[in-house]
Amino acid sequence: MTNKMHVMAFLTVLVSAALAPAQTFNVLYNFTGGVDGSAPVAGVIQDQAGNLYGTTMEGASGACPYGGCGVVYKFDTAGTETVLHAFVDSDGAWPVAPVVRDGKGNLYGTTEVGGSAGYGTVFKIETTGREKVLYNFTGGLDGCEPEQGLVRDKTGNLYGTTYSCSPSGDGTIFKVDSAGKFTLLHSFTGSGSDGANPPP
């Protein structure tokens, strides 16, 4: 009886697999490494209309090695790319994490380096395409190299981590409000149980 049940279950799986629609793989876009960006190391997010938003670590222009400082882009449902912002180092460089989106369509993210002090930024891309640097990391107590993406709460506060700097050089957890006010929530010590250097 048990063997018959196993055979029936196996046949059910085979029939279900045969009836399932075939999966196809489509390339939506090939980055050229020019003004459209290159090295899209982060994932993408999707809006209700099906548009995709993401970042490339390199490409475009700016005073960065390896061919540019990176971009924030949008793909529509037809696969057409629009560069929403191209970083130039002074406003951030090398965005290696996904962006987050608010209810109005504004995008928020981090750059690993660049900004006024060279240690990374928290940025906002408005629906008009205008970029605003909300916070410039200094490489001191606030940390540096924010390689992770951000988490946004209902009131618009942004939370994230830095990979390095801080008193022990082991990174931080921070909060940046909608006005750009920075709050240090925790400095990793690199010893004990709190960990160190939150990776991307």
Q: What's the whole-number mean pLDDT along residues 95-108?
A: 97
Q: How many Å apart are CA 123 and CA 129, to the nearest integer?
A: 12
Structure tokens at 94: 């090398």
Q: What angle do CA 98, 104, 105 make, to 5 degrees?
A: 35
Tens-digit pLDDT profile for residues 4-56: 544 444 445 444 555 556 678 888 888 998 899 999 999 999 999 999 999 99
Q: Write down the pTM of the prediction.
A: 0.86
Q: How many Å apart are CA 133 and CA 177, to the nearest integer?
A: 12
Tens-digit pLDDT profile for residues 68-86: 999 999 999 988 999 999 9
Q: Report residue 75 CA to chain centroid gap.
A: 15
Give the chain's domains with CATH numbers. Answer: 29-187 (2.120.10.30)
